[in-house]
Amino acid sequence: MTTLRRLCGLAVIAWAGVTASMASLADPQVLRYPATQDPAQPLEIHGALDSDLMAPLLADFQARHPEIELVYHNLTTLALYRRFMSADATSADVVMSSAMPWQYQLANRGQAQSLDTAEARAWPQAFRWRHELFGFTFEPVVIVYRRDALEGVTRPDSHEALLSLLTNERQRLKGRVVTYDPWRSGAGYTYATEDAHMSPRYWELVAALGGVEAALADTTGEMLDGLADGRYAVGYNLLGSYARDFVADHPQLEMVIPSDYALVTQRLVLIPKHAPHPEAAKRFVAYLLSRQGQQAIRDKTPLGAVHTALEGEGTARDLRKTLGDAIHPIAIDPSLLATLDTLKRHSLLERWQREYTRLSDSGP
């Protein structure tokens, strides 16, 4: 996140009169915004979205609804799903995650309430499932590399170019490439299934990643930190919403949206069927889908606004205008469930492991 955006986010929080509780200070994964107007109405949100990106949206929402007392829990994608399936599920009023198959599965199993608001009815069909599950961000999956590490070679601005780079510069890049671990990361597994569907040469790319002994990470933040400190020269399949501002603050890094095809993921939000405070939850989700909420997403975060009336950097309209048919949003439809089939999941992961180790010096 750029310094200017951080300052803007802090100004919004101060303007809204929000102060973090001592619990929030002790645990940066929990944000608390006490109500500033009585009677207070509780709202608990569980999300897989970094707190510094979520904070401006929470502050903007509470400025519009000062009677709402907000608590936000930041979790990893799989921890979020497991927590929902445990006894703790009863505490969540809103659940949001970029692990699209798991969110779709919850809604498909009848775990989500229907939202009947003007914003929900007007939301584009391609970015929702019925009126129970909504994609409210537009986040391309990108490649990030260090300029100084790739001097004299063609930059990896497509999947084909990346495959060529890994093949031709194997010794130079050994141990200096990083990508998601699809075994441990829900997002990484989702990208692997989509890549395998989109590219007939995907398995060659996985083998080439193994050939350079690519490091396997759990989060985009982990990959970006390694790129910034020079441990890695190239990062593959990073979440562009996290990478955009980070790269802006680190001029030695370059972010590219692949020109041959660019996966786009979305944060999917739902209201659990047994949400303790459904009315407050409906207000929050309606806010995320409203023009005002989407403007906050565009102006105060790098998450990318979906709203069809909005233009500007990172919006769905802007990316479609720039990249055209190369943009490939992951569909919110039953195909997501196929990726969670136990046999298919094991089959894909086992093949991924075979290909990854095929060219390694130590063998499978």
Q: Enumerate the domain spans of the chain.
A: 30-138+266-330, 140-264+341-361
Specify the residue for token string 């469930």: 337
Residue 65 CB burial class (10 angstroms; 0-12, 13-18, ≥19): middle
Q: What angle do CA 210, 212, 214 make, to 5 degrees?
A: 65
Q: What is the pLDDT along the chain (364 residues), one digit of tens a residue?
A: 454 444 444 443 433 433 443 334 445 588 888 888 888 889 999 998 888 889 999 999 999 999 999 999 988 777 888 888 886 556 899 999 888 888 999 999 999 999 999 889 999 999 999 999 999 999 999 999 999 999 989 899 999 999 999 999 999 999 999 999 998 887 888 899 999 999 999 999 999 999 999 999 988 999 999 999 999 999 999 999 889 989 999 999 999 999 999 999 999 999 999 999 999 999 999 999 999 999 999 999 999 999 988 988 888 998 888 888 888 999 998 988 888 888 988 999 999 999 999 886 544 4
pTM: 0.81
Domain 30-138+266-330 has CATH 3.40.190.10: yes
- Tokens 């492991």 label which residue? 353
d(CA 238, CA 240): 6
List, in order, residues 6 or more apart from 182 with CB less than 8 Å away: 188, 189, 191, 192, 348, 349, 352
Tell me, what's the pLDDT at 88?
A: 58
Torsion of CA 256, 52, 72, 136, to 10 degrees: -30
Please give the pLDDT value at position 27. Answer: 57
Is 140-264+341-361 the same fold as 30-138+266-330? yes
Cα distance between residue 218 and residue 182, in whole Å: 8
Q: How many CA atoms lie within 13 A of 10 on its CB side?
A: 7
Compute how many other C-beta atoms are within 10 angstroms of the C-beta atom of residue 200: 8
* CATH architecture of the domain with residue range 140-264+341-361: 3-Layer(aba) Sandwich (3.40)
Task: Cis check for the bond before 200: say yes or no (omega within 30 of 0).
Answer: no
- On whether the CB atoms of residues 239 and 139 are closer than 8 A, the answer is yes
Which tokens go with 98?
A: 């970029």
Question: Any idea of the CA torsion for 350, 356, 359, 360, to the nearest 10 degrees?
Answer: -100
Contacts of 11 (CB under 8 A, 6+ apart): none
CB atoms within 10 A of CB 20: 16
